[in-house]
Amino acid sequence: MTFTPKNALVWCEIPVTDLKKAMVFYNAVFEYKTKLDETGPNAIAFLPSADETSIAGHLYEGKPASEGNGPTVHLAVPGTVEEAADRCWSAGGTVGGPIIDIPAGRFQYVQDPDGNSLGLFEGTA
């Protein structure tokens, strides 16, 4: 029997060198509010989700992979990919490559200031 989950990705953890600076970057690019949580042994910043059963993740202070060599996390953006790419650039990230159209929408690869690979994802309406 083959296991086929509803969603293979259930959580992501994105390492950053400075949690508070990373929160500013992610809030600016994705136009949401990350939530700082200092109740555990290490502070983390939750990425938002519609409810507690949704797929999401968090930022944490750790060692990012060498520039662009880690996994790529695709995150939904408000508005268009172009608008999100402009916000990424303005917030200190880098934008690379063309916008790619796929059946579910479109995306563009970017890197946060720590070199983490991200996909700015705009779903089809």
C-beta separation of 120 from 75 below 8 A: yes
More confident residue, 70 or 106: 106
- What's the pLDDT score for residue 52? 74
SS3 breakdown of the chain: % helix, strand, coil, rounded to 5?
Answer: 20, 35, 45
**Alpha helices (H) along the chain:** 19-30, 81-90
At 6-47, the pLDDT tens digits run: 777 888 999 999 999 999 999 999 999 999 999 999 999 999
Structure tokens belonging to residue 117: 């690979």
- What's the pLDDT score for residue 68? 64
Helix (H, G, I), strand (E, B) or coil at 120: strand
CATH superfamily, domain at 13-123 = 2,3-Dihydroxybiphenyl 1,2-Dioxygenase, domain 1 (3.10.180.10)
Question: Which of the 8 DSSP states describes residue 67?
Answer: T
**Beta sheet of 117-123, edge-to-edge order:** 72-76, 117-123, 105-111, 94-102
At 71-113, the pLDDT tens digits run: 999 999 999 999 999 999 999 999 988 999 999 999 999 999 9
Per-residue pLDDT, averaged over 54-61, amounts to: 91
- List, in order, residues 6 or more apart from 39 with CB less than 8 Å away: none
